[in-house]
Amino acid sequence: MPKRGGGGGQRYNNNVGNGGGNGGGGGSRFSALKDYDDDDHQRRKDRNKRRVSFKTSQFPHKSDVKLRLQDVRRWDEDDDMSEMTTTVKDRPSSRRRGSPIPRGKFGKLIPNAAGWYQVTIQNGHIYDKETLLRALLAAMSPHVFVPQYWRFERNCAIFFTDDFEVAERIIQLGRHAQLPDGFRLMPRVRNGVPLVTINEEFKTKMKVVMAKRYNVQTKALDLSRFHTDLDLKPIFCPLFRVNVMSTALDIICENIPDLEAINLNDNSMSTVESFKGIEKRLPHLKILYLGDNKLPSLAHLLVFRNLPIVELVLRNNPCRSRYKDAQNFTSEVRRKFPKLMKLDGEVLLPQVHFDLSETTTLAPAKASYLCDSAGAEVVRQFLDQYFIIFDSNNRQPLLDAYHENALLSMSMPSVSQAGRLNSFWKFNRNLRRIMNTERDDSRMRLLRMHLLKSGRLACVSTLDEWPRTLHERRTFTVDLNIYNPQMMVFTVTGLFKELTGDAGSTTPIAMQPYELRHFVRTFVVVPQNTGFCIRNEAIFITSASTEQTREFKRSQHQPAPGAASLTPISSALNENSIQGRLHPGGLAVGGAGAVALLPPPVALLPPPVATITSPIASATVTAATTGPHSDATKMQMVQAMSAQSQMNLDWSRKCLEETNWDFNHAAFVFEKLFKENKIPPEAFIK
């Protein structure tokens, strides 16, 4: 009898076989049925063995892009022909060829960092919760567990457990649970965390629980196993979630900013990212419990390094297993927290220092520095008149403010650091920009000399090419470094608006579009005749930072100082501003101290023209300089107030009239009354 699949066997389609042309062929007409059964038995026996295939792929160009359509079509035709000559039972499958048989449909459950596991019961919506739990507990007896956060979703019943052993028992024993109608539960278990939705109700419940756990006498807050609190039972409140921990910190900083101790034990926390900047929010925190969490490394604790931590608990964290002995672990922790006195409940020996143990604190920073208070009034009047003319539509009067041989230099950082400063970039004399060794030295020398403006006319012409500006004097700080009869040197720092609107626009300056810039200007001023003039000036300009912009916009809502005179810089402002620092103790212009050093600052600059606007004034031109507002200007202010406050035109006009048409003050009053709910609803009906 010929062998099955041999070369001499006659096929059913009268073709001669070639010795296993189709993986064993379609069978010979002389083969016995027992041969087929033996082959099937052997195949089933070897099915669970791991197999490795060294055969070439069915598609030789699978990893290449050069797969032609005719090749694919030819392979499809070959497959069709093989199906005609091969039985389905004997045809080997190409799927998963060479790979092991999967051991389980859903794989093995692996412990996760959060420690939560989701159990899903298919078609669980047919039965009630008691029936499902009764069947599951009966199968797992004598083991008992409590399902958490039970819910029905579509056609499934879902609950969670935070015990890995319970999750494994559900996988092993839950499939044997039988319902009253004879069906089995067949629960599926996977890693999963309950849903978290942060809203006002969520925050209110957190406040109630945190108030209950706060100790007023010791200023300590116990948040250990916070999610298991009975008052939080209907909701899931895990502190290992960054958004939940951030919400908890917001509540703490708002209600107990003097907190000294906090217990965060057993919350499955694997990161403390939410505590960034905690030294500013909770500066008195010195006792920190982080035991029984999932912190993988001590590097996560760097967010607490600026706090005066004296007691720390880190037991049962993965970061402890990274060190061979406790001494190395303690040394590494003390390197991050030099003031630490107690670690994991054990008192630490004091460290040996070879330097002085006394700590000294630096003097508090001041907004301005004055080497001589006698020069305060001189500098104040000089800056007052200078920036009034500078922010006007005509800067030509500044010719009298500069010396005949004055020097002017401007610089700014690179574009990547300062943003787009197109209006000032052509004046940039930054040495890193113009000191290029690869280019001709003579050309670089000429460029440096060209950008250094020399002479009164060149300086003022350069400043006249600037766009329209509006300096915010409430942001000024002044450092008076030198003050003697020969000269005075001072530096002015602050913010100014680069107005980007049309120069001929009738829109009030306070409502025109602008770009906020930061500047530093250093003046070297020398006496001339009965006044002063600028001998040298260096200017640095950059875009305002995000923090400066935020602080400036916040200060816009403060009431503007009264604009009763042409020099609003003399108005009473806070002590950190230039107005307070440069006006010490009611110093008179012609006081004894001033006369002994410099002549009285009379006629420092020519009197400004009548069209100059006050940079501190809230709207356009104040009543002291240009008289009452015109009807067109008032209408524009009313429309702007209506657009900003969403009030109708009548109430917007009423608000401006009662604040004497001071736009900034009107906006401040509106915001204050709006927060107090004192504005009637009819004000917003248009």
The per-residue pLDDT for 148 is: 74
Q: Is residue 120 scored above 80 in pLDDT? A: yes
Out of 386-390, 432-436, 489-493, least confident range: 432-436
Question: Candidates 3.40.50.2300, 3.30.450.20, 3.40.50.280, 3.10.450.50; correct CATH number of 369-611?
Answer: 3.10.450.50
**H or E element that contains 200:** helix 200-212
Out of 131-135, 238-242, 447-451, 571-575, least confident range: 571-575
Contact (CB, 8 A) for 2 and 30: yes
Q: What is the CA radius of gyration of the chain?
A: 41
Contact (CB, 8 A) for 539 and 469: no
Nearest Cα to Cα of residue 390 among 256, 494, 304:
494
Q: What are the tokens at 21?
A: 């042309």
Q: Is residue 309 scored above 80 in pLDDT? A: yes
Out of 32-41, 148-157, 214-223, 254-263, least confident range: 32-41
Count other Cβ atoms within 10 Å, centred on residue 344.
18
Beta strands in 340-381 (DSSP E): 342-343, 346-347, 369-370
Contact (CB, 8 A) for 567 and 551: no
DSSP 8-state class, residue 662: -
The per-residue pLDDT for 169 is: 78
Pick from 274-283, 568-577, 632-641 the range whose average pLDDT is largest.
274-283
Higher per-residue pLDDT: 92 or 623 = 92
Alpha-carbon distance of 556 to 670, in angstroms, equals 13
Average pLDDT for 597-616:
34
Nearest Cα to Cα of residue 119 among 176, 186, 195:
186
The per-residue pLDDT for 500 is: 80
Q: Is residue 204 scored above 70 in pLDDT? A: yes
Alpha-carbon distance of 139 to 141, in angstroms, equals 6
Out of 110-114, 198-202, 466-470, least confident range: 110-114
Parse the chain into domains and list their residue ranges. 1-45+71-91, 117-191, 200-347, 369-611, 631-684
Q: Is residue 346 scored above 60 in pLDDT? A: yes
The per-residue pLDDT for 83 is: 46
Higher per-residue pLDDT: 229 or 286 = 286
Nearest Cα to Cα of residue 150 among 163, 164, 136, 161:
161
pLDDT band at 3; cut points 50, 70, 90: very low
| Residues whose CB is less than 8 angstroms from the CB of residue 48 and which lie 6 or more positions away in sequence, other chains included | 101
The per-residue pLDDT for 421 is: 80
Q: Which CATH class is domain 631-684?
A: mainly alpha
pLDDT tens string 375-426:
888 888 888 889 989 988 888 889 889 999 999 999 888 766 656 787 888 8
DSSP SS3 for 151: strand
pLDDT band at 49; cut points 50, 70, 90: low
* Residue 652 phi, psi (nearest 5): -65, -40
Average pLDDT for 259-282:
88
Nearest Cα to Cα of residue 392 among 458, 462, 454, 463:
463
The per-residue pLDDT for 262 is: 92
Out of 171-180, 304-313, 333-342, least confident range: 171-180
Q: Is 652 exposed, middle or buried (0-12, 13-18, 19+ CB in 10 A)?
A: buried
- Superfamily for domain range 117-191: RRM (RNA recognition motif) domain (3.30.70.330)
pLDDT band at 14; cut points 50, 70, 90: very low
pLDDT tens string 623-665:
333 346 777 788 888 888 887 787 888 888 888 888 888 887 8
Pick from 64-73, 152-161, 293-302, 576-585 the range whose average pLDDT is largest.
293-302
Mean pLDDT (the chain) is 73
The per-residue pLDDT for 58 is: 54
pLDDT band at 76; cut points 50, 70, 90: low
pLDDT band at 90; cut points 50, 70, 90: very low
| Residues whose CB is less than 8 angstroms from the CB of residue 584 and which lie 6 or more positions away in sequence, other chains included | 370, 373, 376
| Residues whose CB is less than 8 angstroms from the CB of residue 54 and which lie 6 or more positions away in sequence, other chains included | none
Question: What percent of the chain lies above the pLDDT cut of 70?
Answer: 68
Q: Is residue 456 scored above 80 in pLDDT? A: yes
* Pair type for strands 261-263 and 220-222: parallel
Higher per-residue pLDDT: 339 or 129 = 339
DSSP SS3 for 470: strand
Instruction: Output the pTM of the full model.
Output: 0.40
pLDDT band at 24; cut points 50, 70, 90: very low
Average pLDDT for 546-557:
79
Out of 178-182, 403-407, 516-520, 613-617, least confident range: 613-617
Give 593-638 as a 3 state SS string.
Answer: HHHHHCCCCCCCCCCCCCCCCCCCCCCCCCHHHHCCCCHHHHHHHH
pLDDT tens string 311-343:
999 988 888 888 888 888 888 888 888 888 898
**Helices assigned H by DSSP within 228-347:** 242-255, 278-281, 326-336
pLDDT band at 494; cut points 50, 70, 90: very high
Nearest Cα to Cα of residue 220 among 256, 267, 266:
256
Contact (CB, 8 A) for 20 and 86: no
Question: Candidates 3.40.50.720, 3.30.1490.20, 3.80.10.10, 3.30.930.10; correct CATH number of 200-347?
Answer: 3.80.10.10
Contact (CB, 8 A) for 397 and 611: no
* Cα separations in angstroms, 651 against 71, 623, 637, 678: 80, 22, 12, 13
The per-residue pLDDT for 43 is: 65
Give exposure, 295-310, as e/b (b: 16+ Cβ within 10 Å).
Answer: beebebbebbeebebb
Pick from 23-37, 460-474, 499-513, 669-683 the range whose average pLDDT is largest.
460-474
Average pLDDT for 135-155:
78
